[in-house]
Structures are given as C-alpha cells and as structure tokens.
C-alpha cells in the first residue's frame, strides 16, 4: 500500500513539475475558466426560463450550463486523458522505460492520469465557486456531498471508456475513434448545454445510454434542487450498471492490446 | 549455475503490407524471422558482447531477455525463473535520447525512477544522491534532460539502471553517437560494474569495444547464433563477419 501511495505521489509530482515548467500554462488555463464562465453568465441572461419549461426546475440557466461545462472537463480527461498519456509516453519513450522499471501497464495508465484528474477537480471547483458567486440563487451547498458522490461515480464510469480508448492507441497508434465518437455524442445528447428533454424522443433514448446524461442529471439535482439520497438512486444505479458492464470489457481489451504490443515489440512505436 | 538460459528461442515479426498488397490480399499475412532457434547459456559475472551486422537480431534478443518483448516460442530463464520484467534482476539500457522526461531536471528524472522502487522519501533522496556522485553527474543535477549532452545522457541511463541495482545489465549500442572521451568513460563504468559482480551483455558494432571489454562474444548473423566463445578463440569469425560488411 505504501508503495502504491508513493508511486501515485511521485507520478503527480512529476506531472506537476512538467506542467509548471511551461511558464504560464496553469495561469492561462485558470484565466480561460474565468473567460468561459463570464461568457456563459452573460449568455444565460438571454435565456428566458418561462420560454423553456424544461429548465424551470433548475431555476436558472447559468448554474445549469456551468455544471455541464465543468463536468465535460472530467469527461474529456476520463475519455481522452488515458490515451493521450499513453501516446505522449510512447513518443518520449517513457512508457517503455517505466514498464522496464517494474510498473505494470495498468498501473502506468492509472498513475499517469492522476494529475489530470486532480487538476480537473481544481478546475471544476473554480467553475463552481465563480458560478456560485454570480448566480442569483447559488448552489445548495448542504448537498455538496451528494455532488461529490456523483462525481466519483462518474469518474469510474467515464474512465472505462478512457481505458478502452488507451487500448486502441496501443494497438493502432493514432486516431482514437472511441474517444472522439463518445465525446461528440456526450456533448450533443447528454444535456451539457440544454436539457435532454428538448431533444426529439428517439434521441432521448440515445441519451439514456450515455453515462454523462445520468452523471449530469445527478450532479444538477444535487446542487440545484433539494433532494434526498433516494432521489438520486436512478442516476447512481445507472452509473453502477455502466461501470459493471464497461469495466470488464475495457480491461479485457486493454490486456489484449498490451499483450499484442509486447508480442509485436510495438510498445514504444508511435 | 547459469544466470541466463535460452533454449530454442524463435521470434518473427509481421511484415507491414503496402496499400496495394492490402487491397489484393487483405487476409494474407507475411512474417520476417528475426531470431532462429537460439540456444545460449550465460554464466554470472562477466562481460559478454553481442555482435552482428544490422538486422542480425541483437536488439530483439536483448529486449526478450529484459522481459519487455515476448518470444514466439522457446524458453528464456533468468536465475532459473521464466523471464519477466524485474528491474532488480535484469535491466535494459537502450537509446539514451529516449525514456526520460525532457523538461525535468536530471535529478528529478532520477527521483521519479527511484520512486518506482522505493517508498520512503528519505531513502529515495539518499539513493539518488549516491548515484549522482557515483556517476559524476553532480555538476548537471539541475539541468533539464533535453539540455544534456549525449554522453551525459548515456551516463544517466546507466545511473538510472543502477538505482535498481540489477544483477544483469543489458546495453543496446550504448556508445552509439558519443565522442571518444565519453566512450572511454562508459568503458570504465562497464568495467567497474563487472568488478561489482554484475553480468553485462552489450550489443555493439565497434571492433575496438569487443576487443577491450569482452570476456566472451556472442556472434549473431541473420537471426542465428553463429558462434559463442572467448574473444581470442573466435577472433577470426568476427573479423570475417565485419570484413563482409
């Protein structure tokens, strides 16, 4: 256990040192969050809730959309982060050197995305703090623990797609259709910018098979509507089912990809 | 007891098809044999040079011994165990330009790799400090990897391997692309590692390296083991191979 914690800490430390070596990188990303938050703040003023009854239960459009944008950051890290880290490490040769140093491919995959998840959590909190200050009703902070629970469940469900996509990159080196298609569908059909109920009915069915839909609904309920834990059960159950179905498939396919790469000698190819 | 035992080892790689071939024969696969029925026994403590022309299978053999590449058939045993990645037992040092984080300093790169085996922060720092002094890297501890010279990168590669203190070290063309003075430093390092009881296998094209460093020579040609023996005994075979090139 101590070894796992030490490795996790040192992967995070290493990634922080690399990121911070790029001067204003972290500062510029934080400024970017401020700009997009204010853009949606002003944009939300033209959204009239009385014209869109689907939004009325959330009371305001601004916190609704900010939760969508903030969570899509996580989606991006979870689906693309794994494959991006694999690809970067193939190019620098650090994938092979780390594996030769005794880290398993699965360990490498998890350790190397920890920093991205931590930084995304930081970004989410900046979004939410600013949105809380700017919105007239604010978030229901007494239900923050529900939101954290939903966030953890979402990371687990989203990451399965990320592992699948990392396996794809190991096998085919470039092009990651899994992450691209999955992200595009999630952005359009999960209710990032508008409620799913605005979609035509057949497309609403499609939205139900995307983990992001349930994750967004759960977090919005937690922060914008007074609910009890039992009200969140449908979203929690949906995310558990996604995780139970997707994780074994992802692990199996990733193992096949690692085995193939070790047989072809292509772990360090890119 | 042999530290490495290789029996009937075979490895082949699939040949990438051209777009035309892919259209004409989408399901036909063709392979190139890289290692053919290799049998080899390596004893502890010594310097073995792995010699052969380009494409003779040297790198493939070293990668299989390190556990990072799986063989197609045959058996590879390290200290009587089936080969697998185990940095405390066997470590491959290759391509010095790769495998490190370019924007991290020399010291931070070593700290990162040391943390993969050690858990205690104090132990990590002590191990890294010791290795930095042992390999004469003190002057460049804060220099980013991308700004290091080729020679320093090679020494850093060996230093990283020694963080794990493996019993067997595999060097893949370690002196490629570095100047003569740096080559001498690497030679001295390799000899000092032998004195510490390490078993060393290094692949090379350089005849001078073979003569100066090797206790025994493994000669490969077209994926087959041509000969294996003490340098003076097989000197003529080596000369013949190199003259043919």
Contact B122, B114 (CB under 8 A): no
Do B102 and A92 make contact, defined as CB atoms within 8 angstroms?
yes
DSSP designation for A79: I
Do A10 and B111 make contact, defined as CB atoms within 8 angstroms?
yes
A246, part of any domain: yes
Tokens 């392979």 found at: B31
Report residue A131 as tokens: 């949105």
Q: What pLDDT score does A175 carry? A: 57
A270, part of any domain: no
A203, part of any domain: yes
A144, part of any domain: yes
Q: Please count the residue pairs, one from chain A and one from chain B, whose beta carbons lie less than 8 angstroms apart.
A: 91
**Looking at the complex, does the CB of residue A98 fall below 8 Å from at least one CB of chain B?**
yes
Q: What pLDDT score does B60 carry? A: 92
**Looking at the complex, does the CB of residue B14 fall below 8 Å from at least one CB of chain A?**
yes
Q: How many CA atoms lie within 13 A of B26 on its CB side?
A: 1
Residues 20-59 of B with CB under 8 A from A: none
Contact B116, A13 (CB under 8 A): no
Residues in chain A: 270
**Looking at the complex, does the CB of residue B60 fall below 8 Å from at least one CB of chain A?**
yes
Using a CB-CB cut-off of 8 Å, the residues of chain A touching B113 are: 97, 101
**Looking at the complex, does the CB of residue A14 fall below 8 Å from at least one CB of chain B?**
yes
Do A18 and B104 make contact, defined as CB atoms within 8 angstroms?
yes
**Looking at the complex, does the CB of residue A100 fall below 8 Å from at least one CB of chain B?**
yes
Nearest residue on chain B to A94, judged by CA atoms?
Answer: B99
Domain that holds residue A237: 2-264
Distance, in angstroms, between A84 CA and closest chain B CA? 15
Using a CB-CB cut-off of 8 Å, the residues of chain A touching B111 are: 10
**Looking at the complex, does the CB of residue A96 fall below 8 Å from at least one CB of chain B?**
yes
DSSP designation for B163: H
Do B68 and A92 make contact, defined as CB atoms within 8 angstroms?
no
A192, part of any domain: yes
Torsion angle, alpha carbons of A134, A140, A144, A146, to 10: -130
Nearest residue on chain A to B86, judged by CA atoms?
Answer: A102
Q: Is B208 helix (H, G, I), strand (E, B) or coil?
A: helix
Using a CB-CB cut-off of 8 Å, the residues of chain A touching B101 are: 14, 18, 92, 94
A250, part of any domain: yes
Residue among A203, A208, A226, A239 at smallest CA distance from A74: A239
Contact A23, A122 (CB under 8 A): no
Distance, in angstroms, between A88 CA and closest chain B CA? 10
Nearest residue on chain A to B13, judged by CA atoms?
Answer: A264
Q: What is the ipTM of this complex?
A: 0.84
- Which pTM does this prediction carry? 0.83
Q: What pLDDT score does B156 carry? A: 92
What is the edge-to-edge ordering of all strands in the sheet holding B90-93? B90-93, B168-172, B199-204, B46-51, B216-221, B224-230
Nearest residue on chain A to B59, judged by CA atoms?
Answer: A265
The residues near A144 (Cβ < 8 Å, ≥ 6 apart) are A222, A223
pLDDT digits (tens, 9 = 90+) for B156-177: 999 999 999 999 999 998 887 7
Give, to the nearest 10 degrees, the angle between helix A105-134 and helix A2-20: 60
pLDDT digits (tens, 9 = 90+) for B85-109: 888 889 898 876 688 999 999 999 9
Nearest residue on chain B to A9, judged by CA atoms?
Answer: B115
Do A100 and B111 make contact, defined as CB atoms within 8 angstroms?
no
Per-residue pLDDT tens listing for chain A (270 residues): 888 888 999 999 999 999 888 877 778 888 888 888 888 888 888 877 767 777 777 778 888 888 898 888 888 888 888 888 888 888 888 988 898 888 888 888 889 889 988 988 888 888 888 888 888 777 888 888 999 999 899 988 888 888 888 888 888 776 577 778 888 888 889 888 888 888 888 888 889 999 999 999 999 989 888 888 899 999 999 999 999 999 999 899 888 988 888 888 777 665
How close are the terminal C-alpha atoms of chain A, in Å?
Answer: 33
| Number of domains chain A contains | 1
Distance, in angstroms, between B161 CA and closest chain A CA? 8
A60, part of any domain: yes
Residues 136-165 of B with CB under 8 A from A: 144, 160, 164
Nearest residue on chain A to B146, judged by CA atoms?
Answer: A92
Distance, in angstroms, between B108 CA and closest chain A CA? 8
* Residue B240, pLDDT above cutoff 80: no
Distance, in angstroms, between B139 CA and closest chain A CA? 21
Using a CB-CB cut-off of 8 Å, the residues of chain A touching B13 are: 264-265
A269, part of any domain: no
Do A97 and B100 make contact, defined as CB atoms within 8 angstroms?
yes
Nearest residue on chain A to B61, judged by CA atoms?
Answer: A265
């Amino acid at each position: 256990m101590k070894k796992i914690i030490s490795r996790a800490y040192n992967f995070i430390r290493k990634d922080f040192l690399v990121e911070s070596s790029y001067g204003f990188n972290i500062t510029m990303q934080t400024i970017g969050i401020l700009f997009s938050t204010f853009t949606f703040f002003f944009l939300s003023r033209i959204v009239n809730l009385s014209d869109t009854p689907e939004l009325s239960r959330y009371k305001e459009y601004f916190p609704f959309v900010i939760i969508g944008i903030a969570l899509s950051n996580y989606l991006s890290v979870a689906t693309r982060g794994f494959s991006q880290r694999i690809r970067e490490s193939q190019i620098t040769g650090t994938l092979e050197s780390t594996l030769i140093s005794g880290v398993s491919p699965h360990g490498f995959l998890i350790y190397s995305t920890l920093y991205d998840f931590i930084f995304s959590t930081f970004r989410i909190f900046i979004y939410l703090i600013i949105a809380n200050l700017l919105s007239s009703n604010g978030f229901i902070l007494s239900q923050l623990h529900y939101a954290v629970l939903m966030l953890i469940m979402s990371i687990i469900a989203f990451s399965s797609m990320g592992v699948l996509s990392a396996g794809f990159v190991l096998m085919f080196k470039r092009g990651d259709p899994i992450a691209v298609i999955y992200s595009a569908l999630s952005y359009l059909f999960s209710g990032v910018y508008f409620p799913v109920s605005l979609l035509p009915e057949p497309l609403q069915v499609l939205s139900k098979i995307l983990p992001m839909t349930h994750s967004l609904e759960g977090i919005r309920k937690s922060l914008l509507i007074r609910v009890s834990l039992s009200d969140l059960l449908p979203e929690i159950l949906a995310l558990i089912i996604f995780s139970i179905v997707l994780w074994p498939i992802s692990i199996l396919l990733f193992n096949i990809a690692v085995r193939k790469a070790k047989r072809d000698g292509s772990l360090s190819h890119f | 007891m042999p530290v490495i035992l290789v029996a009937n080892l075979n490895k082949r790689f699939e040949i990438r098809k051209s777009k035309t071939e892919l259209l004409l024969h989408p399901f036909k696969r063709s392979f190139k044999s890289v290692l053919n029925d290799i049998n080899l026994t390596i004893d502890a403590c010594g310097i073995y040079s792995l010699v052969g022309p380009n494409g003779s299978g040297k790198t493939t053999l070293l990668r299989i011994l390190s556990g990072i590449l799986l063989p197609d058939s045959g058996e590879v045993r390290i200290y009587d165990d089936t080969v697998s990645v185990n940095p405390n037992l066997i470590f491959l040092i290759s391509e010095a330009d790769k495998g490190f984080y370019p924007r991290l300093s020399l010291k931070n790169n070593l700290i990162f790799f040391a943390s993969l085996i050690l858990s205690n922060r104090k132990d990590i720092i002590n191990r890294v400090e010791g290795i930095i002094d042992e390999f004469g890297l003190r002057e460049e501890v804060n220099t980013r990897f991308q700004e290091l010279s080729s020679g320093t990168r090679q020494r850093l590669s060996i230093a990283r391997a020694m963080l794990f203190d493996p019993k067997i070290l595999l060097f893949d063309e370690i002196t490629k692309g570095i100047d003569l003075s740096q080559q001498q430093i690497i030679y001295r390092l390799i000899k000092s590692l032998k004195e510490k009881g390490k078993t060393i296998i290094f692949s090379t094209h350089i005849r001078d390296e073979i003569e100066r460093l090797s206790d025994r020579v493994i000669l490969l040609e077209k994926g087959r083991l041509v000969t294996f023996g003490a340098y003076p005994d097989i000197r003529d075979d080596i000369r013949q191979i190199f003259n043919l090139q």
